[in-house]
Amino acid sequence: MDQSKLVTITTIILFSWMAFIIAWERISPYRKGLPFFRDGFWVDLVWYTIIQSYFLKILIFDFIIAPIQHHVDVTGLQWFKNWTITEQVLFFLFTHDLYIYLFHRLQHANKLLWRTHEAHHSGKEVDFLAGSRSHIVEIIINQTIEFAPIVILSPNPEIIVPIKALLDAMFGMFIHANVNVRFGKLKYFLNSPELHLWHHANYREVFHANFATKFSMWDYLFGTVYFPENKPGDLRDNWGLYYDYPKDYFLQHAFSVKRFDEQKLLRYRWFNWYYNLRPRLLEWMIGQWKNLSKSASKKKSTREPAVKELEPEENYISCD
Ligand SMILES: [Zn+2]
Ligand SMILES: [Zn+2]
């Protein structure tokens, strides 16, 4: 199968999966009353999911992995020569997932690495899109380590990469989805929202627990699982970080380099201008939308007298 056809198929599967998860969130929510357009929805969708992913894909594949591949000669290595596509996908899935578990655990333990991960925990309303919020550095490290071995070692990277990327996106959406799901015995092996949503809760007990991404067995094997009977609760304070965190994409990245108090910075005119740019833009867009709907209803009302003109005649007829 050629790559463009495979990418079309994986894209269709991904959008269908997203529609399924969105419907599931509405039908059976884990946390009731969570709005679809929740706090940070547009930052996650526009900045993290669309713009950041687009540029990081180019950076990681064309400017990091391609030069590595150019300098590393693996023609002598034929490890995966006789492996089927399924065997290769499973191999890269398991090995990368173990790496992600260990690195994620390190990110929670090390102060410097935490700066590359706190963004992921900053949302107080977790849903299917919340998993996309990941710091640039975190994505560069994790995706280079994930895809470089596939591109360099696999005889079929053009097939393995899209399949692996699809599975990442599907699992990412699923474990963050605000859905009520009970995995029973399967929870010892596969990760699910009932385990990962606790990882996003603002409780000391989970600051160092439930690190798994796809296979929860790592948490069970290494003794880092936290799975009580109750849920974290519906209050905003039950979720996300215990400290204030910026809402803006660029300020979130700046905050990982240097801590600052947004309220104090508002004294500076340039910061004030930038800080209010997004709400002003949003206000302007809402204004435009209102104007559009007003002019549409005006057009409709100018047509109305034509109907009203009939009324006297109708009355006259009825009086008769
Ligand atoms: Zn984490
Ligand atoms: Zn998460």
For residues 122 and 197, what is the distance between their CA atoms, to the nearest angstrom?
13
Q: pLDDT band at 302, cuts 50/70/90?
A: low
DSSP letter for 258, please.
S
Contacts of 182 (CB under 8 A, 6+ apart): 194
For residues 267 and 264, what is the distance between their CA atoms, to the nearest angstrom?
6
Half-sphere exposure for 271 (CA within 13 Å, toward CB) = 11
For residues 169 and 14, what is the distance between their CA atoms, to the nearest angstrom?
8
Identity at 317, one-letter amino acid code: I
Identity at 304, one-letter amino acid code: E
Looking at residue 294, its pLDDT comes to: 86
Secondary structure class of 190 (helix, strand, coil): strand
Q: How far is the CA of 111 from the centre of ligand 1 (A)?
A: 13
Both tokens of 297, joined, read 């209803």
Q: How far is the CA of 124 from the centre of ligand 2 (A)?
A: 12
Both tokens of 174, joined, read 């699923």
For residues 96 and 101, what is the distance between their CA atoms, to the nearest angstrom?
9
Q: Per-residue pLDDT tens for 151-179?
A: 999 999 999 999 999 999 999 999 999 99
Looking at the CA of 116, name the nearest ligand.
1
For residues 58 and 140, what is the distance between their CA atoms, to the nearest angstrom?
11
Q: How far is the CA of 172 from the centre of ligand 2 (A)?
A: 8
Residue with tokens 């009580």: 228
Q: Per-residue pLDDT tens for 125-135?
A: 999 999 999 99
For residues 316 and 38, what is the distance between their CA atoms, to the nearest angstrom?
56
Going through 64-201 in order, the beta strands assigned E by DSSP cover none
Looking at the CA of 118, name the nearest ligand.
1
Q: How far is the CA of 140 from the centre of ligand 1 (A)?
A: 16
Answer whether residue 311 shows pLDDT above 60. no
Q: How far is the CA of 126 from the centre of ligand 1 (A)?
A: 13
**Any idea what the Cα angle at residue 280 is, between residues 279 and 284, rounded to 5°?**
115
Both tokens of 4, joined, read 């463009």
DSSP H stretches of helix in 177-210: 193-199
Whether the CB-CB separation of 44 and 130 falls below 8 Å is answered with yes
Looking at residue 304, its pLDDT comes to: 55
Q: pLDDT band at 181, cuts 50/70/90?
A: very high
Looking at the CA of 196, name the nearest ligand.
2
How far does CA 9 lie from the centroid of its chain?
A: 21
Contacts of 45 (CB under 8 A, 6+ apart): 129, 132
Q: How far is the CA of 292 from the centre of ligand 1 (A)?
A: 43
pTM summary value? 0.85
Q: How far is the CA of 208 from the centre of ligand 1 (A)?
A: 8
Looking at the CA of 174, name the nearest ligand.
2
